[in-house]
Structure 1
Amino acid sequence: MHQSSLGGFAAPHPTDRLFFAVMPPPAVAERVASLAGELRQQLRLRGRPRPTGHLHVTLHHLGDFAGLPQQRVDEACAAAASVELSSFEAHFDRVASFRGRAGKHPFVLLGADRATGLAGLYANLGTRLAAAGLARREPAFVPHVTLLYDALTIAPQPIEPFEWTVQEFVLIHSLLGRTEYRVLGRWPLAAGA
């Protein structure tokens, strides 16, 4: 006999997502958004570009929840506070599509081979999250910024490189289905040598 719910109640629908990210400074985000608009037109993509204030590199996804889990937020913030790294340059030099759901493939700005600082931050934060019992099984880390979602898939192609100095990382609370991000915490990186 198949049981469709627990105790006669359906599982709550996720409304909230938590993830750590690096966000480009506003001037760089504007340039990335402009590039997304230009490429959308050139490549005949139809997807709507992501809002400029939502452009980011995801470091670690903490999960989707029905309501904001304050204990998880507190534990994640404590883990993030223990990260000790210097600021670094983020480099992006290609665009391409990732495989996604049918009709909804992420079209992304991809990190250059020199994007080692992002990989280092990902690893350092991941170690702290694992020590706090917050680690999740994740695919290999590929530094990228999602520009839009589209039915077409675009093969990798070079672009004029984008760079910015990463001086902090953030914990973002995304309200699912509402296109709203709330920054719950910011952790500065030490000034570069």
Structure 2
Amino acid sequence: MDSLFFALQPEPAAAGRAVELAESLRAAHDLKAQATAVERLHVTLHHLGALREETVTRALRAAATLDCPAVEVRFDKATSFKSGGKKRPLVLLSRQALQPLQDFRSTLGVALSLHGVDVDDGSFRPHLTLLRDARAVPEQSVGPVAWKAREFVLLQSLVGQGRYVVLGRWPLNG
């Protein structure tokens, strides 16, 4: 079944830089997996589970209530996450807390809860997945991938098709 989530998508220059970095890391660590397609790059804010019409309606209403500032996003290290599957996500992370991003995610979570959408209030580690490969890459510094997020989106993940559909898009001020 398709799934639903809120995300930030990188601006074109940052997305291009992320793909270049993925290719560089592939070569440096002899990784076999292909880089995540530019149009699939994102930072997940809240995963809302399986696609249900009622959840979509409530999520759209909640998002429309927000009036938040644009968010600076900056990733400057890469590593592989541990995974239960055969392929480990190679991700970009930040050495900084990215507090404005954390704050925006919390604000979105409150709005979703007020509109009857269940959200996971657990730990949040902002990241951008570059690819998934069987080989692990140790943590290392990388040239930054940075952008100012001026909007957030509600995405439908088309399971098994490797693509997303934008169900809603909202501006962030500034």
Fold similarity call, TM over 0.5: yes
Match of 1:110 in 2: 93
Contact persistence 1:96–1:108 (CA under 8 A): yes
> 5 Å matches for 1:124-163?
124-137=107-120, 139-163=122-146
Match of 2:20 in 1: 34
Q: Which moved more, 1:109-118 or 1:35-44?
A: 109-118
SS at 1:37 equivalent: helix
SS at 1:141 equivalent: coil
Contact persistence 1:91–1:114 (CA under 8 A): no
Pair 1:53 & 2:39 matched: yes
The structure-2 alpha-carbon separation of the partners of 1:164 and 1:98, relative to structure 1 and needing over 3 Å to count, comes to same
TM-score, structure 1 as length reference: 0.85
Residue segments in structure 1 that go unaligned for 5+ positions in a row: 1-13
CA distances 1:40-77 after superposition (whole Å, capped 9, x unpaired): 11111112211111000000001024xxx222111101
Distance in 2 between residues matched to 1:139 and 1:157, nearest whole Å: 26
> 5 Å matches for 1:1-193?
14=1, 16-65=2-51, 69-137=52-120, 139-191=122-174
Answer 1 or 2: higher relative contact order, Cα 8 Å, separation at least 6: 2
Contact persistence 2:90–2:137 (CA under 8 A): yes
TM-score, structure 2 as length reference: 0.94
Q: CA deviation at 1:115?
A: 1.7
Distance in 1 between residues matched to 2:119 and 2:107, nearest whole Å: 14
Distance in 2 between residues matched to 1:176 and 1:96, nearest whole Å: 26
SS at 2:47 equivalent: strand
Residue segments in structure 2 that go unaligned for 5+ positions in a row: none
Contact persistence 2:5–2:48 (CA under 8 A): yes
SS at 2:67 equivalent: coil
Distance in 1 between residues matched to 2:97 and 2:126, nearest whole Å: 11
Q: CA deviation at 1:159?
A: 0.6
CA distances 1:152-182 after superposition (whole Å, capped 9, x unpaired): 1222111112211110100001100001211
SS at 1:42 equivalent: helix
The structure-2 alpha-carbon separation of the partners of 1:99 and 1:139, relative to structure 1 and needing over 3 Å to count, comes to farther
Q: Which amino acid aligns with 1:129?
A: L
Q: Which moved more, 1:71-80 or 1:137-146?
A: 137-146
Contact persistence 1:106–1:146 (CA under 8 A): yes
CA distances 1:93-122 after superposition (whole Å, capped 9, x unpaired): 100111112421111011331522211111
Match of 1:9 in 2: none
Determine which structure has more spread, i.e. the larger CA radius of gyration: 1
Quote the sequence identity (%): 40
Work out the number of aligned pairs and report it: 174
